[in-house]
A and B are shown apart, each in its own frame.
Chain A
Amino acid sequence: MEFVSFEARTATVKVEGDMDVTVVVRIEDELNECLDRGCSEIVFDFEKTTYIDSTVISRIVTFERKLRKIDGKVFLVNMAGEVLRVLNATKLLERMKKN
């Protein structure tokens, strides 16, 4: 898998630079593969991500909805700059921040 690593039922998404419609379909495929393999937690690690667009926001919520059905969770970590601003503005960070 190119963007997602999977270990101990946790899938971690990492994208360097822009995370937008051009990579989102591949991320979605990789995460779906992880769900098929028993994933119950997804971590979006934005440490090296400089930009996210609305398609990414949409997929974060889509996977949150999927995981909710199996008592799983989505977490957002290591945001800064524009990514932090967007996740704050949408209030997704409020409920998906990892303490």
Chain B
Amino acid sequence: MSNMNLAFKSKGKKEVVLIIDEDEKISIARKTALLETVPYLDVVITNSSLDGIRFCRDLIPRFVIINFDMPDINGLLICSIVRQMQACEQIMMYGCYDPEKSPLSTAFQVGFDSCFRKDVDEENLIGTIKRYYEKKKAINGYFDDVEKVRKSQEQMLPAKIDRPDFSVDYIYSPYKKLSGDYIDFWYEADRNGLYGYIFDVAGHDIESAFQVSGLRVSFRHAFEFCSDSVSNVLKYVNRELFLLQVEPTLVAALAFRFDFNTKQLFFSSAGIPSFYIVQNGEYIEIEMTGNLLGDLEEVVYEEKSILVKNVNEIIFSSDGFSEIFKKTNCFKKHDDLSAVMVRFKKKFD
């Protein structure tokens, strides 16, 4: 038997398709057809069963197409041997059979994923591999999109503030790659005030990420028009949600304003349960209530204020952060985590 190992070394990260068939003409025709449909593959062909097994071990192909009726070791046995190699469990094994010679009954038992009739199913075989790569391409495209959106979300985050009398820092940790949370804050020197908000859209997918972008714009507009009242900021965003959506997205949010002249913190909540004040090392929870944004159209949000005296830090957070913050035995996060930490470098008396 002439050794027809027309094996090409695998280049780079190209995926390999291995064809084990005694008939050189069939192998070459199959290779040509495969490369016409999926040009970025490495197609390796061999007419030797032993070499086929060796290639499976060394190249770990994505697909192996085996002729059942190999003259030295038959295709069923090749499949069975390859399946017992630990690294080869994930290989897709396709068998080509002649219905007059080889019964199908044991093919699936030894580990074939699919079988094709030699005489009539050649197009199906190539089409199946083509569809696999089309699907794979689509899935990879989705992950590329997720990565782009993730980067874009990170770029939207605010710059940290570090001033002589206070600093503002944040924690931002998406549940998976994308976040339904967003935080923003800024200092306005002419008003000597710190402004900010935090919100949490249900979900952590691409749709949530787009909603985050839209809400960010709404909040910025709201602060432009209603900067003296954080409850009106929430009312403005809520109204926008009802104007833009028939069944609005639900959003938990909190808006705040700290007036450095009067030392007063103004805050309003749309479903974020609390925030924390750190005073002499002690965490004091300030509880709040308020309808979620997008829940009811005509809602008045309550605005409260507290005088900030002898305070080291104020921590505003999404519900995911609050949850782990309160549990000392919590080792996994369930949600996006975000928090804004305002640290006072000198205490107000």
Q: Name A residues whose Cβ lies closer than 8 Å to a Cβ of B.
A: 18, 20-21, 51, 53-55, 57-58, 61-62, 65, 82, 85-86, 88-92
Contact between B273 and A85 (Cβ–Cβ < 8 Å)? yes
Query: Which 8 residue pairs of A and B lie closest in terms of their CB atoms, listed nearest first?
Result: A58-B202, A89-B273, A90-B271, A54-B202, A20-B334, A58-B250, A55-B202, A53-B335
Further contacts, 13 of them, CB under 8 A, given A58-B202, A89-B290? A20-B334, A21-B203, A51-B323, A53-B334, A55-B202, A55-B203, A61-B292, A82-B323, A86-B273, A89-B272, A89-B289, A90-B290, A90-B291
Shortest Cβ distance from residue B212 to the other chain A in the assembled complex, whole angstroms = 13
Q: A21-B175, A85-B273 are in contact. Are A54 and B323 (CB under 8 A)?
A: no
CB of A89 within 8 A of CB of B274, answer yes
A87 and B202 alpha carbons, distance in the complex (Å): 15
* Interface contact A57-B202, CB-CB below 8 Å: yes
Selected A-B contacts with CB under 8 Å, 12 pairs: A20-B335, A53-B319, A53-B334, A55-B203, A58-B249, A85-B273, A86-B273, A86-B319, A88-B289, A89-B273, A89-B288, A90-B291
| Set of chain B residues within 8 Å of A88, measured between Cβ atoms | 273, 289
CA A47 to CA B6, docked complex, whole Å = 67
B231 to chain A, nearest CB (A): 14
A57 contact from B204, B250, B287, B290, Cβ within 8 A: B250
- Choose among A20, A51, A90, A91 the residue with the greatest number of B CB atoms under 10 Å from its CB: A90
Chain B residue contacts of A21, Cβ below 8 A: 175, 203-204, 334-335
Q: Is chain B's interface secondary structure helix, strand, loop, or mixed overall?
A: loop
Interface positions of B (Cβ within 8 A of A): 175, 180, 200-204, 247, 249-250, 252, 269, 271-274, 287-292, 295, 319-320, 323, 326, 334-335
> Measured between C-beta atoms, what is the minimum distance from A90 to chain B in Å?
4
Q: Which residues of A contact B319 (CB under 8 A)?
A: 53-54, 86
**Inter-subunit contact A54/B180 (CB<8 Å):** yes
Given contacts A53-B320, A54-B252, contact A89 B335 (CB under 8 A): no
How many A-B contacts are there with CB distance less than 8 Å?
70
Within the complex, which residue of A53, A61, A82, A86 is in contact with B295, where a contact is CB–CB below 8 Å?
Answer: A61
Closest Cβ of chain B to A51, distance in Å, is 7
Given contacts A55-B202, A55-B203, A58-B250, contact A89 B326 (CB under 8 A): no
B293 to chain A, nearest CB (A): 11
Which residues of the other chain, A, contact B203 by a CB distance below 8 angstroms? Answer: 21, 54-55, 58
Chain A residue contacts of B202, Cβ below 8 A = 54-55, 57-58
Bound form: Cα–Cα A18–B323 in Å: 12
B269's nearest neighbour on chain A, judged by CB, is A89
Complex formed: what's the CA distance from A96 to B261 in Å? 42
**Cross-chain contact of B326 among A20, A54, A82 (Cβ < 8 A):** A82
Given A53-B319, A54-B252, A89-B274, residue A18 in contact with residue B292 (CB < 8 A): no
Q: How far is B334's CA from A82's CA once the two chains are assembled, in angstroms?
A: 14
Contacts of A55 in B (CB 8 A): 202-203
CA distance A3 to B299 in the complex (A): 33
Q: Give bound CA distance, A71 to B335, whole Å.
A: 33
In the complex, what residue of chain A is closest to B201 when comparing beta carbons?
A54
**Separation in Å of the B319 CB from the closest CB of chain A?**
6
Separation of A89 and B302 alpha carbons in the complex (Å): 12
Query: When the two chains form the complex, which single residue of B288, B290, B335 contacts A54, counting CB atoms closer than 8 Å?
Result: B335
On chain A, the residues within 8 Å of B175 by CB distance are 21
Residues of B within 8 A of A90 (CB): 252, 271, 289-292, 295
Contacts of A58 in B (CB 8 A): 202-203, 249-250
Alpha-carbon distance between A18 and B271 when the two chains are bound, in angstroms:
20
A94 CB to nearest B CB, Å: 9
Asked whether, in the complex, the Cβ of A91 is within 8 Å of the Cβ of B323, the reply is: no
